[in-house]
A and B are shown apart, each in its own frame.
Chain A
Amino acid sequence: MALTGIEIFKMLPKTNCKECGFPTCLAFAMALASGKAELGACPYVSDEVKEKLAEASAPPIRPVKLGAADAVKTIGGETVQFRHEKTFFNPTLIAGLLTTAMADAEVDAKIDTFMKMQYERVGLNLRPEMFAVKDVSGDAGKFAALVKKVVDQSDALLLLCGDKPEVLKAGAEAGKDRRPILAYATDANADAMGALAKELDLPLVAKADGYDALAALTTKLTGMGLKDLLLDGGARAIKQVLQDNIVFRRAALVPKFRPFGFPVVNCVAEMTDDPMMQTLYASVCIAKYGGIVVLSDLQPHTVFPLLLQRLNVYTDPQKPMIVTQGIYPINNPDENSLIAVTTNFALTYFIVTGEIEGSKVPTWLLIKDTEGLSVMTAWAAGKFSGDDVGIFVKKSGITDKAKTRTLIIPGYAAAISGDLEEELPDWKILIGPREASHIPAFLKSL
């Protein structure tokens, strides 16, 4: 629970020494409460108070860091229930499942498929990023060998599942450079699992059926000194999973209920055997607060839709999505192909390229940096003026690629054609349609 300025003031030395840069301890306390100052600025505060205040100001949902030191991924750390209230920060990790019962060839194939599923889009690499590795044989050597195989053949993050602490320990040591997550701590094994996670300094999934049991379990584990926990509410029916995810998020944020202030693991692999339904369940968990979703098998056609959905849900609504300024060839254009120009707002780019692709007309599309503004707004804001666009076209290098000197501009930017003709005297300026859906008919008419 966040502390008020007065509550913080009571813990300060009250000497008004001014060394923190504030005139009084009270002023400093008020600044701390509103997040405008750091406690470290006070040289005299005790360690005990420091710890107390650090806890009070800790994020409501623990950010848990995973992965090798040079490829850290964070889950948790979220601050809102609805993306439009700010943004969601740390995208749900998508995991596939490997078990010690699988033959070597099957494991190899799954790892190979996993590594190939990487899709470039708006400058991002969309891909699944984790394997849940599960012990079903109770053989520590076998489990460690499987983990080592994953580490050797992929860059996957690791979620290690098993009910025997000594088996998990062997796996954790084989994968320790990736900071694997251990699963599961339950009411029955909490002491042993908690001790193991503490010894190895690894994140641990707490699993219990029902809110009271889970809260009691995470409270016990934090009492043992563990900080990086994850939640599994135990449910394996999508309706209850959705409710649990909502309840955990809301409880952690609104009353700042600490026992639920951790990222959530959703194991859809255990909810149905139907791979298509697993994708749908996973989509519920991505939209509604899952930190990790585990599917039984990752295939491009079942995972790609989730990668797009995750990209959409986790896109920061405060920032426009942009594409890089430059020349984009569509439908294999050559030196005699058409040339068109538009803005770098990602939505404009996607819609325009989609329509040009659909037309099958070979086209050079020039994307001008308008700081992510759409055509009309960019034009109104002076970021898509005739001079600007003309200079951009000259410097773009398109004249090295195409002999044609006809430039198609968006219909909504028709007003710039005069200035553009002055800036590009050798060019013919054509005004394209206002709506992207009319692009194919327009291109075919040229």
Chain B
Amino acid sequence: MAFEIPKQIYSGAIKPVTIGKGPKAITLGGETSYPFYVFEGAMPHAPRIAMEVWDVDPGEDWADPAKEPFKDVLGDPVAWAKKCVNEYGADAIALILVSTDPNGMNASPEAAAATAKKVAEAVDVPLIVYGTSNQEKDGEVLPAVAEACQGMQIIMGPVQDKNYKKIGAAALGYNHTVVANTPIDVNLAKQLNILLGQLGVKDSQILVDPTTGGLGYGMEYSYSVMERDRMAALTQEDEKLQLPILNYVGQEVWKVKECKQTDAEAPQLGDQKTRGILMEAVTAVSLLLAGSDLLILRHPDAVILVKGIIKELAS
């Protein structure tokens, strides 16, 4: 008797969410099986890559190999974003408003909003605008961004339990998408999606950021929460989890010691550039297999590698 693949029964599907506008708008989600289990389900919208752009020159914060490709545009987020789109084929841009950190430069919401607007106008791909995870400050900055970027259909986050009303209302008012972020927990993720729903934010305007752990620094927590999230969404019809997942990989990977150590500091770890790129790409692959739909990556070479493997696995 011929062998038959034992079937996994799926009773749910991930809802498609379209971000951005115009010809470069992208649709995420739509999966009807576990990630890349394409032999028993559909993955109509392959996962996409957004590239990370800071609104300030990262200076010492970034390892040299991560800065090198952008050395002519650091400190100029508009030129930086354009370079990511034109030279590196970014599907989307993730503008990180580092300047607004109250423990850092503490830039005003108005200044950050002006930067976001300039970047949004300069690129035709979807723009993700991320704050600094300071709930109070993000609650001031992101509504200002929403207003300045009216009509541009941007994606804003991280929206968290203490600022979801402010940011959610702004997203509703100006027709943007939000990224709901919770600290590595399936139930908290679900709860925040419900709260956003009660506010009037439609499922088609929500992405989920489950919080990303760096490789070797807690990546497994994100990995398992995402697997559980997908299991609930696809096999237990948990509607409030049937939303595409976003992972902010770049910063979480490149800030770890082993990415920052130079060849001289850690000769036993080989070439710093290759190691950093592969740490970023291996984290990306792991999270894709756990259910990610949109990855924010930093290094252009990691983008090429990850796009390559997505193409092979999803097509």
Contact = CB atoms under 8 A, between A and B. Distances in A.
A312 B289 contact: no
Interface string B1-15: 011011010000000
A355 to B, nearest CB: 9
Given A246-B37, A354-B257, A309 B286 contact: yes
Interface string B296-315: 00000000011011001101
A301 B255 contact: no
A192 interface: no
B102 to A, nearest CB: 10
A302 B6 contact: no
A385 interface: no
Contacts of A287: 223, 285-286, 289-290
A212 interface: yes
Interface size class of A (residues with CB under 8 A): 35 or more
Contacts of A412: none
Contacts of B88: none
Given A280-B309, A309-B282, A312-B216, A211 B227 contact: no
A312 B269 contact: no
B194 interface: no
Interface stretch (B110-118, B147-155, B270-278): B270-278
Contacts of A353: 257
Contacts of B277: 276
Report whether over half of chain A's contact residues are helix, strand or loop; otherwise say mixed. Answer: helix
Contacts of A283: 281-282, 285-286
A351 B217 contact: yes
A358 interface: yes
B268 interface: yes
A336 B313 CA distance: 55
B236 to A, nearest CB: 14
A279 B289 CA distance: 15
B3 A215 contact: yes
Contact of A251 (B6, B271, B274, B289): B6
Contact of A301 (B37, B218, B219, B270): B270
A300 B270 CA distance: 5
Nearest to A301: B270
Interface string A299-331: 111101110110111010100000000000000
Nearest to B275: A301
Interface string A342-384: 0000010011011001100000000000000000000000000
Nearest to A284: B285
B308 A277 contact: yes
B289 A304 contact: no
A350 to B, nearest CB: 5
B256 interface: yes
Contact of A212 (B3, B213, B270): B3
A41 interface: no
Given A305-B275, A309-B282, A350-B216, 7 more contacts: A238-B313, A257-B3, A280-B305, A281-B309, A284-B313, A287-B290, A308-B258
Interface of A: 82-84, 116-117, 119, 121, 211-212, 215, 237-239, 242-243, 246-247, 250-251, 254-255, 257, 276-277, 279-281, 283-284, 287-288, 299-302, 304-306, 308-309, 311-313, 315, 317, 347, 350-351, 353-354, 357-358, 437-438, 441
Interface of B: 2-3, 5-6, 8, 36-39, 103-104, 213, 215-221, 223-224, 227-228, 231, 255-258, 260, 268-272, 274-275, 277-279, 281-283, 285-286, 289-290, 305-306, 308-309, 312-313, 315
